[in-house]
Structure 1
Amino acid sequence: MRPRKENPDIAQLVFDQLIAALPNIVSQVAARLNANQTSNSEPRPPRECTYKTFRACNPKEFNRTKGVVGLLSWLESVESVLHISKCTEGNKVEHAACLLQGRALTWWNTLVQARGREAANRIPWEDFKKLLKDEYCPKSELQKLEMELWNLEMKGDDISAYTTRFHELANLVSHLVTPEEVRIERYIWGLSPEIRGNITSANPKTIQEAVEIATKLTNNAVRSGGLAKGKRKIEEFGD
């Protein structure tokens, strides 16, 4: 049986129809590919920080045994954990309150009884910090830290000790050196007069930049004899 011959007119017609439809086919395929890529690229909502995740970061407990410095240091460390664990605002107080021990826990339980647990856990983080400070930070102790920061000066060539103590105090009473330009100005003010002017002229934009310039200028001044050697021991900062 002989194979049937194709009608050249019909074959040409089919070919022409395919050529005409090809742009539409390509457009449809491209649209579907773009839609899939857009869907896959949409950011997923962040996972809510669970208490297990928070505790996995090993936050410190607080039992109010080390005074105002202990509280301020604890708040600083807890805020670091809250940031690392990506804890949402609504969970911060509830998670942090679980770290309170001893008399601090008694204080929290009294607050829960007065306001109700749900309302207490909804307290904004900044308000929670203020309540703790009002309870455990006598004004006299805070004023001592503030005065030490304002009077802190670099002695001799010990730029390292001065910088370390400055950071410690600045973190404890951060309201005195906020925003960062105020922190930079106060840091520069306490440096040795031999290098203070040069750092001011350099106009550092961040505290880290100011520290790096100050360290470099101090080392250069010591090597050239422009800065007298001699270190005053600064007491190690405790909790």
Structure 2
Amino acid sequence: MPPAGICYERFRRLNPPTFEGGPDPMAAEAWIREIEKMFRALLFPDEVKVRLAASMLTGNAEYWWTAMETAYAVDGLTWRDFKRLFYNQYFSDSVNQSKQNEFLALTQTDRMSVLEYANKFNELGRFCP
């Protein structure tokens, strides 16, 4: 595994988004998707992913992470565990359930083109396994 500094440099070259926290669960979900896209491209090991993602937290999200570091043994925390903690805070099960219900109730209306319907289907489909 390359040294942490090299991993950080490669990651930063991709211009990863920061996450500030806030009330919009879709912003949290989009942030995770963008970060994971970068991780797939760079093939980083799990323990590096958590440190790199945490470095992109700002504002209230950074405060949240500081509290998590105090409450949990974050050294060796897996990416899956980080996402679980993150989603518990910013993208709750109820929001996920709401998106699943929206997907299941999706119908094409007269005001919706086939392309618009397909786009909405793809957007919401990621919430239904």
Q: TM-score, normalised by structure 1?
A: 0.48
1:145-184 to structure 2, matched below 5 A, reads 145-156=99-110, 158-171=113-126, 173=127, 176-177=128-129
What per-residue deviation string (whole Å, max 9, x for no partner) do you get for residues 90-114 of structure 1? 2110100001111111111111123
What per-residue deviation string (whole Å, max 9, x for no partner) do you get for residues 87-136 of structure 1? 12221101000011111111111111233xxx414211111111111112
Contact 2:25 2:90 in 1 (8 A): yes
1:73-88 to structure 2, matched below 5 A, reads 73-88=30-45
Q: Which has the larger radius of gyration?
A: 1
Residue 67 of structure 1: CA displacement?
1.7
Residue in 1 that maps onto 2:80: 126
What per-residue deviation string (whole Å, max 9, x for no partner) do you get for residues 50-105 of structure 1? 11101111111111225211111111111001111221222110100001111111
Contact 2:16 2:34 in 1 (8 A): yes
Number of residue pairs the alignment of both structures matches: 126
1:5-24 to structure 2, matched below 5 A, reads none
Unaligned runs of 5+ in 1: 1-45, 178-239
Distance 2:11 2:75 in 1: 16
Contact 2:23 2:90 in 1 (8 A): no
Structure 2: which amino acid aligns with 1:136? Answer: Y
Structure 1: which amino acid aligns with 2:84? Answer: K
Q: TM-score, normalised by structure 2?
A: 0.85
1:19-34 to structure 2, matched below 5 A, reads none
C-alpha RMSD of the superposition: 2.0
Which structure's relative contact order is higher, taking Cα pairs within 8 Å and 6+ residues apart? 2
1:1-239 to structure 2, matched below 5 A, reads 47=2, 50-115=7-72, 119-156=73-110, 158-171=113-126, 173=127, 176-177=128-129
Distance 1:67 1:148 in 2: 17
Distance 1:89 1:107 in 2: 20
Residue 165 of structure 1: CA displacement?
1.2
Question: Which deviates more, 85-94 or 95-104?
Answer: 85-94
Contact 1:57 1:85 in 2 (8 A): no
Distance 1:109 1:47 in 2: 26
